[in-house]
């Protein structure tokens, strides 16, 4: 335990003395956040609606209505089950869920009964809500006119889903936090440990009773403390400049920051063991981290990626880290609703830490 605490203290002192590294590792994500927020995160609303249409009736009339709604201008349909669609709506991943109930076709054939379509939408976002209602109403009005000589036969039943009114910056900031964690720990650790090995710093440590597991754990603890400070600074800047809030538990958010740090540090140690020189460590780490920047949901939703990449997204840790951070910050998600990212990140950490401890090299071979 004494050796572990001394390692943590020594690493923190190294960070304190190397102020340039600390500042630049923080300034880069802050600059990206401010630049993207200024260019893309304004108050302009997105008028292209992502809609999920649930057809419970599966009649000829309901299918005709579904096809008409899919062809409506400004509407992009997302195929999901009703349960998943409503969950996506609450997470602001959809703007509207339209449900065609059972008996719709029978009601359409009846001379006295009116068919009803239920529309779920976020009433907190008034502009999107009004646009969505207008699109659906216009489509249904066209069907009414064609079917029964301008006599309305289909009614719209609106149901509001109360969610937070989110902007692009609310989506971006958790992704920037995930990027900060990945970059500092995967890239930073790989380069630092490879450099220490070449300079024989690790060889001198090898002459002590220090185990590789204790050394790695000490490095992780020091970097966790640094990452927590940097994450807090990023959130404060995002809050005061762009009005970004944390709607969930700070404890849950801190837990996933810690888990993400542990996971990517373990991967960084593996890269440091694979690299023969410091010059090769950075390119190897970049080869891993750079693609994850674009398929990990940092800058845009992963559902917009091609289908063949979806399997990759579900396997890599960065996607689940951004999902967890975004869920806590934007939707107040808890551990109960974040079981998938929780267990996948834990699995990545346990496996990576084990491999890192077994493959760790004190000296150049």
Sequence-distant (≥ 6) Cβ neighbours of residue 320 within 8 angstroms: 340, 341, 344, 345
pLDDT digits (tens, 9 = 90+) for 144-194: 666 655 455 555 565 555 455 567 788 888 988 998 888 888 887 777 777
Comparing 36-45, 95-104, 229-238, 347-356, which segment has the lowest mean pLDDT? 36-45
pLDDT of 101 strictly over 70: yes
Dist CA 17 CA 39 (whole Å)? 35
pLDDT band for 334, please (50, 70, 90 cuts). Answer: confident
241-269 average pLDDT score: 89
Of 310, 312, 287, 318, the C-alpha closest to 179 is 318
154 burial via Cβ count (<10 Å: 0-12, 13-18, 19+): buried
pLDDT of 45 strictly over 60: no
238-251 average pLDDT score: 87
**Longest pairwise C-alpha distance within the chain:** 92
pLDDT band for 313, please (50, 70, 90 cuts). Answer: confident
pLDDT at 163: 54
Higher pLDDT, 320 or 109: 320
Contact 184, 230 (CB under 8 A): yes
Dist CA 340 CA 314 (whole Å)? 10
Higher pLDDT, 264 or 7: 264
CA 72 from chain center: how many Å? 30
pLDDT digits (tens, 9 = 90+) for 207-237: 666 676 777 777 778 878 888 888 888 888 8
308-316 average pLDDT score: 82
- Mean of the per-residue pLDDT values for the chain? 78
pLDDT at 298: 82
Contact 31, 39 (CB under 8 A): no
Taken as a whole, the chain contains a residue count of 365
Q: Is 53 helix (H, G, I), strand (E, B) or coil?
A: strand
Which residue, chain included where needed, has tokens 């719709």? 104
pLDDT of 362 strictly over 90: no
């Amino acid at each position: 335990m004494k050796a572990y605490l001394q390692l943590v203290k020594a690493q923190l002192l190294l960070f304190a003395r190397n102020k340039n590294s600390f500042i630049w590792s923080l300034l880069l994500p802050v600059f990206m956040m401010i630049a993207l927020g200024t260019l893309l995160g304004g108050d302009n609303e997105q008028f292209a609606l992502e809609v999920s249409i649930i057809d419970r009736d599966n009649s000829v009339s309901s299918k005709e209505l579904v096809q008409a709604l899919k062809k409506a201008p400004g509407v992009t349909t997302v195929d999901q089950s009703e349960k998943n669609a409503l969950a996506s709506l609450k997470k602001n991943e959809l703007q509207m869920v339209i449900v065609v109930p059972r008996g719709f076709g029978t009601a359409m054939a009846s001379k006295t009964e009116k068919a009803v379509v239920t529309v779920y939408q976020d009433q907190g976002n008034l502009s999107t809500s009004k646009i969505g209602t207008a699109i659906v109403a216009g489509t249904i009005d066209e069907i009414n006119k064609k079917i029964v000589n301008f006599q309305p036969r289909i009614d719209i039943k609106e149901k509001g889903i109360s969610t937070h009114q989110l902007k692009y910056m609310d989506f971006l900031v958790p992704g920037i936090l995930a990027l900060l964690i990945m970059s500092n720990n995967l890239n930073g650790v790989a380069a630092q440990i490879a450099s220490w090995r070449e300079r024989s710093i690790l060889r001198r440590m090898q002459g002590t009773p220090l185990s590789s597991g204790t050394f790695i754990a000490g490095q992780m603890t020091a970097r966790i403390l640094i990452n927590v400070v940097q994450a807090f600074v990023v959130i404060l800047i995002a809050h005061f400049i762009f009005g970004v809030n944390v709607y969930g538990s700070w404890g849950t958010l801190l837990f996933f920051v810690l888990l993400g740090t542990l996971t990517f540090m373990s991967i960084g140690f593996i890269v440091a063991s694979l690299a023969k020189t410091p010059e090769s460590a950075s390119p190897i780490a970049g080869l891993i981290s750079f693609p994850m920047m674009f398929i990990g949901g940092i800058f845009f939703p992963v559902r917009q990626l091609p289908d063949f990449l979806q399997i990759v997204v579900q396997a890599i840790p960065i996607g689940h880290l951004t999902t967890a951070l975004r869920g806590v910050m934007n939707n107040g998600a808890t551990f109960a609703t974040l079981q998938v990212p929780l267990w996948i990140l834990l699995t990545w950490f346990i496996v990576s830490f084990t491999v890192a401890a077994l493959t760790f090299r004190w000296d150049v071979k």
